[in-house]
Structures are given as C-alpha cells and as structure tokens.
C-alpha cells in the first residue's frame, strides 16, 4: 500500500526540549515516509485509506544503537561480575555456540522476533566472529522487515582460542560480507572491532582501511570500565588516551561512528567526541549491572555531544527500549545528586535519544516531521487511563507499559507481521 493515514494521538520529539503532540490527528504516509500530520485531512487526501486507531498513541519506532544479538540467551547471567571476568566466564563461551548454524538460527530467530515485538524498528547490532551466523542474522532481519546495521565482530588477540581469528581471514570475511550486503536498503553492514584490547594493530589498520574504502560506519566500545582503561594503557602505550587507539586507525569519526558506554571520559575527551561528532551510546542497564559507572550524559549534552541509547543485551537485561529510557533518566538523577550542576535528563530528552537522536544514525528516522521514515508504533493504553492527557498516557507507557500495549508496528510504512515474544 503506497498511501494511507493512521489516525490517533500522535506524539514524537522533533527536538529534545518537549513532546510534539497532535491529538486525534491524521499521520499521512506516502511511499514509506511521513507526508504530514493534519487535524483535518486536506482535500487532496479525500480518497485516502484511513485506519482510525481511536485514542491509541502513535509513536515513532524505537532505535537501539547498541546491542549484542548473540548475547540474547545470557540475559541475567553473571551479573555479579564486572566487565572483563563477565566476558571470559559468560560471554565468550556463549558466543562460541554460534559456530553451530542450528543454534545461531534458533537464537537469532528468537532475538529478531523479540526486537519486533518490543517495537525496536531500528537497531545497531554486534553479531559474533562467525561469518555464517552473520549471514543468518541478516536474513532473519530482512525477513522480519526490521532495519539494522549488522556488524561481524572482529577479534584476533587476548581472547580464548575458539574466538581468536586469524587476522587476514578476519579481514577477508569482513570484506566478503560487505560485498554481499552493501546494496541492502534496510539492513546494512557496519565495521565492528569488538574493542581495542581484542584487536592487534594489524587488525585495526585493516578494518580502518575497509571502513574508508567502502565509506562504512564503525561501532565499538570505549571507556566502559576502569580495569579496561588501565589495560588499554598497557597494550597501547603509544597512545595517551583510549580513543586515540581507534582514531589512529581511522575508526573514530572518519566515517559515522558509535562508541558504546563512554562512562569514564575526561572533559578533553568529551570535547574531542563533540568535535569529531562520534556518538556515544548510553547503555545504563549494562553500566549498572556490571558496576561500570554512571555515564555523565548531561555533561556530554552541554558540550554538544549527540547521544543515543542502547539496551546492550546481555550486559543489559532489558531489550524493551522504554525501560532503557527510564534507566537513563534514573541514572542521570543519581549522577545529579553527586554533581548538582549536571541536571537530570527529562523524559522528552531520553525519549528523543531513543527515537530521533539515535535515528539520526540511519538518516531521517525517529521523528514524524515530513520526509522522515514512517516507522510507527500504535500503543493502546487501558481505558481507565482515558482521563489522562496524551502525554500522561505516554508517561504511563514508558514507565509501566510492556510489549502487550503495542498493537501495531511499521518500518518505512510497511507493517511488521505479528510475532511471538521471547521475554
Ligand atoms: Zn556492548
């Protein structure tokens, strides 16, 4: 269907400051993008098909800028550990299982179905080192109709034998997948060194060269944990800051770049992030679960840094982005108690990060301004909530809602089939 309208209570954030609210209005979709929002449909749309959703909320789909598809089966495991022991005790043995195509298909299938059920219409994903598993994940996302960047993980040192790649083979596999995927409209490749400690200099150089050759975006992890930062200083003594390891190899801002966590950055490092427009991805659940720290989101916003949100499954335990929004706000409140100058995040700010803010990585995504991708969720709230305002019902959904409140999901104007959740 090329043109249609959804009618309901439309809410989105065109800026971080406040919600844009259009009560009982029409959201017109043409060729997969938003054509406009109208209180009364103009004459030119008199024959338009309208789906009246009553007083359901119509929101942009959620954008998860950092999560690990193969860690879906370890949610909740090992949460008494910190990052480095958690990786070796839980994550690496689990990622090894993705050598097995049957396991990869089963787990990635459950993960992709759950993304859809949660209303996460766009995501940026880490897979594993395994080429075949990466191909399966892309196929499942395409079949579901979801949009994503998928990264084949690269690691060639400081990891167990079963996850340590031959450097040249790792680069060849990465390039082969890019050649295979690069024409995709909704699912695309992203360069994904796991993090600097599991990368040789040769691997980082090779990945930077590939990123430049194909003009591909980059994702990795930065300054998540103090032990990790100390390890970087030992491994790469030629660089006096963690980010410089990536930057030296063209993996930090030469192409669009996401860096998960960024918990322990100095003011100078934050200023540099803003200058080269690298986006930190705030993963509050993960940072709490692995005792990594409180990300100084307000300090970054004040310096002009753009921030997205990530569920970071399986260090994060909630794949449902409204929960990540709530935790980002709660963490910022704890941070503000220790640093009174840095005010806590508001709900419009955190909602923006999970929609238009993160959506910028995909282009015109995450808002309902004209020309934006028609990624839409229809949210039904209980009838006893009808006396609340539109924004109050949104607040209820974000803080207390769950996937059963989402009755419809659309990506670029196309409805996602209903599917089973594995929550
Ligand atoms: Zn991560």
Tens-digit pLDDT profile for residues 24-43: 999 999 999 999 999 999 99
Same domain, 184 and 324: yes
Mean pLDDT of 371-377: 98
Tell me the CA–centroid distance for residue 71 and ligand 1, in Å.
Answer: 10
Question: What is the per-residue pLDDT for 111?
Answer: 98
The answer on pLDDT for 420 being more than 80 is: no
Q: How far apart are CA 30 and CA 33, in angstroms?
A: 5
How far is the C-alpha of 84 from the C-alpha of 252, rounded, in Å?
23
Rounded mean pLDDT, 344-359? 98
Q: What is the distance in A from the centroid of ligand 1 to the CA of 126?
A: 8
pLDDT at 417: 75
Q: What is the span of the domain harbouring residue 261?
A: 62-362
Q: Is the pLDDT of residue 149 over 70?
A: yes
Residues 126 and 271 reside in one and the same domain? yes
CA distances from 182 to 118, 188, 197, 357 (A): 27, 6, 28, 24
The domain that holds 82 is classified in CATH as 3.20.20.140
Q: Is residue 174 part of a domain?
A: yes
237 lies in some domain: yes
Average pLDDT, stretch 191-219?
Answer: 98
Residues 124 and 217 in one domain: yes
Determine the pLDDT at residue 182. 80
Give the domain-ending residue among 324, 342, 362: 362
Classify residue 310 as left (phi > 0), alpha (psi -120 to 50) or beta: beta
Where does a domain end: 362, 389, 407?
362
**Considering the domain boundaries, does residue 219 fall inside one?**
yes
pLDDT (0 to 100) of residue 65:
98
Mean pLDDT of 223-240: 96
43: Cβ contacts below 8 Å, ≥ 6 apart: none
**Do 32 and 86 belong together in one domain?**
no
For residues 118 and 259, state if they share a domain: yes
Query: Does position 421 have pLDDT exceeding 60, yes or no?
Result: no
* 97 and 155 co-located in one domain: yes
The contacts of residue 123 (CB under 8 Å, 6+ apart) are 63, 64, 65, 67, 115, 146, 147, 148, 149
Centre of ligand 1 from the C-alpha of residue 80, in Å: 17
- The domain that holds 27 is classified in CATH as 2.30.40.10
Query: 3-class DSSP state for residue 273?
Result: helix
Q: What is the mean pLDDT of residues 233-237?
A: 98
Q: In what order do the strands lie in the sheet with 218-222?
A: 218-222, 257-261, 279-282, 308-309
Q: Model confidence at 423, in pLDDT bands (50, 70, 90)? A: very low
Distance 198 CA to ligand 1 centre (A): 13
Q: What is the pLDDT of residue 183?
A: 80
Q: Give strand ranges (E) for 182-217.
A: 187-189, 192-193
CA of 282 to the centre of ligand 1 (A): 10
Burial of 412 (0-12, 13-18, 19+ CB in 10 A): buried
Percent of the chain residues past pLDDT 90, beyond the cut: 96
CA of 37 to the centre of ligand 1 (A): 37
Average pLDDT of 339-367? Answer: 98
Residue 379 is predicted with a pLDDT of 97
Per-residue pLDDT tens for 102-146?
A: 999 999 999 999 999 999 999 999 999 999 999 999 999 999 999
Of 186, 148, 52, 116, nearest to 406 (Cα)?
116
Do 148 and 50 share a structural domain?
no
Per-residue pLDDT at 1:
53
Question: Phi and psi of 389, rounded to 5°?
Answer: -75, 170
pLDDT band for position 184 (cuts 50, 70, 90): confident
Residue 84 lies in a domain: yes
Q: How far is the CA of 125 from the centre of ligand 1 (A)?
A: 9
Helix, strand, coil fractions of the chain, as percent rounded to 5:
45, 20, 35
**Ligand 1: distance of its center to the CA of 197 in Å?**
14
- Report how many domains make up the chain: 2
Tokens linked to 281: 């991805």
Task: Please tell me the distance from the alpha carbon of residue 396 to that of residue 57, in angstroms, as a whole number.
Answer: 11
CA of 14 to the centre of ligand 1 (A): 28
Q: Taking residues 89-114, report their average pLDDT.
A: 96
Are residues 15 and 77 located together in one domain of the fold? no
Distance from the CA of 283 to the center of ligand 1, in angstroms?
8
Radius of gyration of the chain (CA): 21
- Whole-number pLDDT of residue 418: 62
267 and 188 in a common domain: yes
Q: What confidence category does residue 419 fall into, taking pLDDT thresholds of 50, 70 and 90?
A: low
Distance of CA 370 to the CA centre of its chain: 23
Residue 320 lies in a domain: yes
Residue 267 has a CB neighbour count (10 Å cut-off) of 10
Please indicate, yes or no, whether residues 38 and 66 belong to a single structural domain of this protein: no
| Token pair of 370 as six digits | 């004209």
> What number of other Cβ atoms are within 10 A of residue 89's Cβ?
12
421 in any annotated domain: no
Boundary residue ending a domain (333, 362, 391): 362
Residues 181 and 143 in one domain: yes
Q: How far is CA 375 from CA 59, 120, 216, 307, in A?
A: 8, 10, 23, 20
Residue 283 has pLDDT above 60, yes or no: yes
Q: Which residues surround ligand 1, an ion (CB under 5 A)?
A: 260, 312
Assess contact for 132 and 108: CB atoms under 8 A: no
Residue 423: inside a domain: no
Q: Are residues 307 and 404 in the same domain?
A: no
Burial class of residue 80 (count of CB atoms within 10 Å of its CB; 0-12, 13-18, 19+): exposed
Is 38 a domain residue? yes
Q: Return the half-sphere exposure (C-beta side, CA atoms, 13 A cut-off) of residue 44.
A: 6
């Amino acid at each position: 269907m090329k043109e249609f309208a959804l009618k309901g209570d439309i809410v989105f954030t065109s800026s971080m400051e406040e919600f844009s609210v259009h009560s009982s209005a029409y959201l017109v979709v043409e060729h997969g993008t938003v054509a406009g929002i109208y209180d009364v449909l103009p004459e030119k749309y008199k024959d338009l098909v309208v789906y009246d959703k009553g007083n359901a909320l119509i929101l942009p789909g959620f954008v998860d800028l950092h999560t690990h598809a193969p860690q879906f089966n370890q949610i909740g495991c090992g949460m008494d550990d910190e990052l480095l022991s958690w990786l070796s005790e839980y994550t690496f043995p689990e990622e090894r299982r993705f050598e097995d195509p049957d396991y990869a298909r089963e787990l990635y299938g459950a993960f992709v179905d759950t993304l859809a059920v949660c209303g996460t219409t766009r995501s940026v994903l880490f897979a594993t080192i395994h080429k075949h598993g990466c191909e399966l994940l892309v196929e499942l996302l395409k079949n579901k109709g979801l949009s994503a960047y998928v990264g084949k993980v690269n690691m060639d040192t400081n990891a167990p034998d079963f996850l340590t790649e031959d450097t040249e083979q790792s680069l060849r596999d990465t390039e082969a997948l890019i050649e295979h995927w690069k024409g995709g409209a909704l699912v695309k490749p992203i360069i994904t060194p796991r993090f600097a400690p599991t990368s040789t200099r040769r691997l980082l150089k090779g990945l930077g060269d590939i990123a430049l050759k194909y003009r591909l975006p980059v994702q990795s992890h930065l300054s998540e944990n103090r032990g990790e930062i100390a390890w970087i200083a030992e491994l790469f003594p030629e660089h006096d800051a963690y980010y410089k390891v990536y930057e030296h190899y063209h993996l930090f801002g030469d192409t669009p770049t996401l860096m998960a966590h960024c918990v322990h950055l100095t003011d100078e490092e934050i200023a540099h992030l803003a200058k080269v427009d690298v986006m930190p991805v705030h993963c509050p659940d993960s940072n709490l679960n692995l005792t990594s720290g409180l990300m100084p989101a307000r300090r970054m916003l004040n310096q002009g840094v753009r921030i997205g949100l990530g569920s970071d499954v399986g260090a994060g335990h909630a794949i449902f982005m409204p929960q990540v929004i709530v935790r980002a706000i709660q963490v910022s409140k704890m941070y503000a108690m220790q640093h009174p100058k840095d005010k806590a995040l508001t709900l419009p700010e955190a909602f923006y990060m999970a929609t238009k803010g993160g959506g910028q990585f995909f282009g015109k995504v995450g808002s309902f301004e004209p020309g934006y991708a028609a990624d839409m969720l229809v949210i039904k709230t209980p009838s006893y909530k009808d006396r609340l305002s539109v924004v109050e019902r949104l607040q209820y959904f974000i803080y207390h809602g769950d996937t059963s409140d989402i009755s419809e999901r659309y990506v670029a104007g196309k409805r996602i089939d209903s599917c089973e959740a594995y929550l």
